[in-house]
Amino acid sequence: MDDPHEWTIRDANVADMAGQRVIDFKAHTLHVLSYSAPIRARMRLSELRAHLFTLPDQPDRIPYRTSYYNENWGFCLSHAALEALPEAEYDVVVDSTLAPGVLNYGELFLPGQTEDEILISTHICHPSLANDNLSGIAVASALAQRIAAMPARRFGVRIVFVPGTIGAIAWLARNESNVHRIKHGLVITGLGDAGPLVYKQTRRADAPIDRVAAHVLRHWPTPSRVIGFDPYGYDERQYNSPGFSLGVGRLTRTPHGTFKEYHTSGDHLDFVDPNQLTDALNAIEAMLDVVQTDTFYLSQNPKGEPRLGKRGLYRTVAGQADRQRQEMALLWALAYADGQDSLLDIAERASVPFREIAEAAQALEVVGLLVDTRAKV
């Protein structure tokens, strides 16, 4: 087979003999089978039916269907609309082009202090669908803005916006000589529905991001779960393929195919909750925070416990409980400050969120009790 052609769609409709458009791409982009070959013909409904796609069990929704790499044409419509069509003749028009072209993708790189990188990838190929995939584009864009506004980073962050499958494969093929720099990554999409956050592990479930994501979600204030890798899904399949094995996990909410709005016109803006998007964005940011700041500390006062009060380490915090938490975090950070346990190791031992231990360690570093063993760059 030749390289896949680029598809350009200008118009697509089915009109009755009075010229009334009964199916109209201009009314909803889902009405045309994606990748439809061009056609202009007059035919009876009985003949047209083989090219019409509906969802009988969700009769008011338009399905999203594609016909990649298999030359066909067709229309998608609600089952109710199909039922209302009289047996008659119709004029069918798909005004499209399938021809050699280009594959477009977006890529943003926010440099870090080292050559190592974090990859964030989201797919951009679904028309007029909000959760899968506009939510991923929105969260990735907001994440980019947040990261760009932050001070120096250890890892560079590379955010790619690619057509699903073909785009990720093309991106990997073009960047093969540099992908060894990617130490951690996440494929993100489907982050706006009402379901809990779902982290899908990497192929071997042994990448650092697997541990980081599980840690963050274990302490996350909203519901979440972790699932194992399986070879079906989004572009984690490409990044985890044996020839790359990049250690890229995936964060979604309700997995694809398991909510009834999936790949239908029911996946519209009202299906996506801005609070869920924000919660997902915060969770991703917390995961990247662990990756960016985890390090090993060495105590400068390791023989017995140093006095913390006289060093001003008990800052005024709201309540007794918060003060106790803060004090415990300081003690945990000191107790394991022999360069053997990372902050994440300590947070897991203490069963507290990474950030609490990280802040305690940073406060201890400020007063000279701890030294970061990571080489300053």
The least CB distance from residue 335 to Zn ion, in Å, is 48
Nearer to Zn ion, 132 or 210 (CB): 132
The least CB distance from residue 163 to Zn ion, in Å, is 11
Nearer to Zn ion, 134 or 370 (CB): 134
The least CB distance from residue 364 to Zn ion, in Å, is 47
The least CB distance from residue 190 to Zn ion, in Å, is 8
The three state secondary structure string of the chain is CCCCCEEEEEEEEEECCCCCEEEECCCCHHHECECCCCEEEEEEHHHHHHHEECCCCCCCCCECCECCCCCCCCEECCHHHHHCCCCCEEEEEEEEEEECCCCCCEEEEECCCCCCEEEEEEECCCCCCHHHHHHHHHHHHHHHHHHHHCCCCCCEEEEEEECCCHHHHHHHHHCCCCHHHEEEEEEECCCCCCCCEEEECCCCCCCHHHHHHHHHHHCCCCCEEEECCCCCCCCHHHHCCCCCCCCEEEEECCCCCCCCCCCECCCCHHHCCHHHHHHHHHHHHHHHHHHHHCCEEEECCCCCCCCCHHHCCCCCCCCHHHHHHHHHHHHHHHHCCEEEEEHHHHHHHHCCCHHHHHHHHHHHHHCCCEEECCCCC
Residue 261 binds Zn ion, judged by CB under 5 A = no
Nearer to Zn ion, 93 or 280 (CB): 280
The least CB distance from residue 125 to Zn ion, in Å, is 8
The count of residues interacting with Zn ion (CB under 5 A) is: 1
Residue 132 binds Zn ion, judged by CB under 5 A = yes
Contacts to Zn ion from residues 318-337, by CB under 5 A: none
- Using the contact rule CB under 5 A, the part of the chain among 82-90, 129-137, 141-149, 175-183 near Zn ion is 129-137
Nearer to Zn ion, 132 or 294 (CB): 132
Using Cβ positions, the residue closest to Zn ion within the complex turns out to be 132
- Using the contact rule CB under 5 A, the part of the chain among 124-132, 294-302, 316-324, 354-362 near Zn ion is 124-132
Nearer to Zn ion, 153 or 250 (CB): 250
Nearer to Zn ion, 5 or 65 (CB): 65
The least CB distance from residue 369 to Zn ion, in Å, is 51
What residues line the site for Zn ion (CB under 5 A)?
132
